[in-house]
Structure 1
Amino acid sequence: MKDTQTVRRMQEKRDRVIVKTSIVGILTNVLLAVFKAVVGIVSNSIAVVLDAVNNLTDAVSSVITIVGVKLAGKKPDKAHPFGYGRMEYLSAMMIAALVLYAGVTSAVESVKKIVVPEKPAYGAVAMLIIAAAVGVKFVLGRYVRRTGERVHSGSLVASGKDASFDAVVSASVFLSAVLYQLTGISLEAWVGAVIAGIIIKSGIEMILETVGQMLGSRADRDLTGKIKKAVCEVP
């Protein structure tokens, strides 16, 4: 009985960590999306606007993560005697699908701007916000991914990877803006197309990884080591 209660408390603690981390991601991404959307519209920059859309996708991903955790925590019933733990795999799959969708959408919009180019008009404030977004997304991605690995949450790890790719997206947008300011050459549409390909690749990899986990891939060595240690310590 004590063992069951201990496991339940550990699961509840894990769920709280996942929900807390997801809420941090939601608030951060919503704020970044708002700032970037304003900057993108004012500057007439398709790259910045797409970056804002990508941040909203991340916010939705975090919401899906929270829903997945809550559903996974449901007690077993007659229809599902082994519980709902695999709901986390489904939420991770939905996040991967959102990443893939964001990549395809970004590719389409970037191609449109390549065919019919438009000149952006970056200001000092816009450049500052874009630069700050790079650092924020990098820190957020690192934080979410490490937390996911610590509590063994596929959804958080997927969200962290997505945030890290977004940091690369924002960095590329910033560099293209700097290039335009210095030379007058606008490459943001081409940069957007390249980034879209990277995001699409990331989405496909996340889907394949999640499918592998659902089918039963080999357990992580660190995790199995901790389990063996815990079993050996049981009197």
Structure 2
Amino acid sequence: MFKFLAKKFVKDYKNIDNPVVRLNLISLSSIMGIAMNILLFLSKIFLGIYTRSTAILNDAFNNLSDSVVSIMSFLGSSFSKKPADEEHPFGHGRVEYVMALLVSIVIVYVGLNLFINSAKSFNEPNPNGLNLLSFVILFAGILIKVYIYLLNTKLYNDLESDLNLGVMLDARNDIISTTAIILGVFLQRYVSFNLDAAMGVVVAFFVTKPGIDLFNETVGYLLGERIDRDIEKEISDIILSGKYIRGFHHLDLHQYGKGHIAGSCHVEVPGNITVAELHNDIDSIEKKIRKNTGVILTLHSDPTYNISDKEG
């Protein structure tokens, strides 16, 4: 389904290296997530009220929070597409990280509320059992979440978007929690305590944990954690491949959204060659770095030695 919609609504949808195409695919997946999660919320809220099941009601509101997550994912990808302007010369790519951070806060908030509600329901009567329609609705919900999980897993691997990661983790946890609800209803007859409330606590845990993980990861991005060491190594090798460059220092790289890394570096060059010769060498290195890694790097020349006629 997603491939069909991407082909129809996203121009050049296979070119995921294009930042605009990447963000358009994230937006499309978010719209699909909104529609599916609202459908699941409406069906489960009705089912939870009918069966008096706290765990099912918790699961319904978890689906509602998932739709909020998808809305925020859509907004994040939409704002990230805005081009650079005078106030934001490196573009708006970090909006994706800001939205991912807000998504993590929403997930944690919902999870804590689900835990509180479940803990309060331990002394309430056990819920009614599931009829065939109830079982069909819950099982259909699992199948929908499996699709959402597989879709966002692929998109996360292809696009490296924390927004897709958040949706993927939510879907995975929903699969686990809804399965636990079904098992809890069938096992309730064999225990005397309110197993539904216990399952509600389990659901709350699986909602909260990935929210905390996503929060920690996005905070790392926003605080400017170190760029991938493999990229640094490749850049270092290219710099040292320059004809006149003997060393470098102060390699500073900054990420302004996925696929948008810029930085600067001081390179050690001879002080007794022409400006034209030096410029040609530096320019070729900068172009090679951008072509091979996608990083926009500005090299600053530090004349630290003189080249002999024999070396020249």
- Cα RMSD (Å) of the superposition? 2.7
Greater shift in the superposed pair: 157-166 or 36-45: 157-166
- Structure 1 residue aligned with 2:138: 130
- Structure 1 residue aligned with 2:277: none
- Structure 2 residue aligned with 1:113: 121
Deviations along 1:163-184, one digit per CA (max 9) or x if unpaired, are: 111111111111101213x537
Deviations along 1:97-130, one digit per CA (max 9) or x if unpaired, are: 111011101100001101x222211222112211
Deviations along 1:19-42, one digit per CA (max 9) or x if unpaired, are: 111111111111111111110011
- Distance in 2 (CA, whole Å) between partners of 1:98 and 1:176 is 27
What code does the residue aligned with 2:127 have? P
Identical columns (%) = 27
Whichever structure has more helix as a proportion of its residues is 1
Q: Radius of gyration: which is bigger?
A: 2
What code does the residue aligned with 2:52 have? N
Q: Is the 8 A contact 1:110 1:192 kept in 2?
A: yes
Note closer, same or farther for the CA distance 1:78–1:231 as it changes in structure 2 (3 Å cut).
closer
Secondary structure at the aligned position of 1:79 is classed as coil
What code does the residue aligned with 1:21 have? S
Greater shift in the superposed pair: 188-197 or 82-91: 188-197
- Distance in 2 (CA, whole Å) between partners of 1:233 and 1:149 is 18
Q: Is the 8 A contact 2:126 2:196 kept in 1?
A: no
- Distance in 2 (CA, whole Å) between partners of 1:134 and 1:39 is 15
Deviations along 1:144-167, one digit per CA (max 9) or x if unpaired, are: 132122112111111111111111
Deviation at 1:221, TM superposition (A): 5.9
What code does the residue aligned with 1:96 have? S
- Structure 1 residue aligned with 2:225: 216
Deviating runs (4+, > 6 A) in structure 1?
Answer: 227-230
- Distance in 1 (CA, whole Å) between partners of 2:59 and 2:230 is 36
Deviation at 1:210, TM superposition (A): 1.1
Which structure exhibits the higher relative contact order, with contacts defined as CA atoms closer than 8 Å and separated by 6 or more residues?
A: 1
For structure 1, which runs of at least 5 residues remain unmatched after alignment? 1-6
Give the TM-score, by structure 2 length. 0.66
What code does the residue aligned with 1:119 have? N
- Distance in 1 (CA, whole Å) between partners of 2:141 and 2:17 is 37
- Structure 1 residue aligned with 2:41: 33
- Are residue 198 (structure 1) and residue 206 (structure 2) matched? yes
Give the TM-score, by structure 1 length. 0.86
- Distance in 2 (CA, whole Å) between partners of 1:24 and 1:217 is 34
Secondary structure at the aligned position of 2:90 is classed as coil
- Structure 1 residue aligned with 2:112: 104
- Are residue 163 (structure 1) and residue 171 (structure 2) matched? yes
Greater shift in the superposed pair: 134-143 or 30-39: 134-143
- Are residue 143 (structure 1) and residue 143 (structure 2) matched? no
Match of 1:231 among 281, 285, 291: 291
Q: Is the 8 A contact 2:55 2:203 kept in 1?
A: no
Q: Tell me how many residue pairs correspond in the alignment.
A: 224
- Are residue 22 (structure 1) and residue 30 (structure 2) matched? yes
Secondary structure at the aligned position of 1:78 is classed as coil
- Are residue 50 (structure 1) and residue 58 (structure 2) matched? yes
Secondary structure at the aligned position of 1:82 is classed as coil
- Distance in 1 (CA, whole Å) between partners of 2:138 and 2:206 is 19
Whichever structure has more strand as a proportion of its residues is 2
Q: Is the 8 A contact 1:145 1:158 kept in 2?
A: no
Q: Is the 8 A contact 1:95 1:159 kept in 2?
A: no
What code does the residue aligned with 1:74 have? K
- Distance in 1 (CA, whole Å) between partners of 2:167 and 2:17 is 25
Q: Is the 8 A contact 2:177 2:206 kept in 1?
A: no
Q: Is the 8 A contact 2:23 2:80 kept in 1?
A: no
What code does the residue aligned with 2:228 have? A
For structure 2, which runs of at least 5 residues remain unmatched after alignment? 1-14, 235-258, 260-287, 295-312
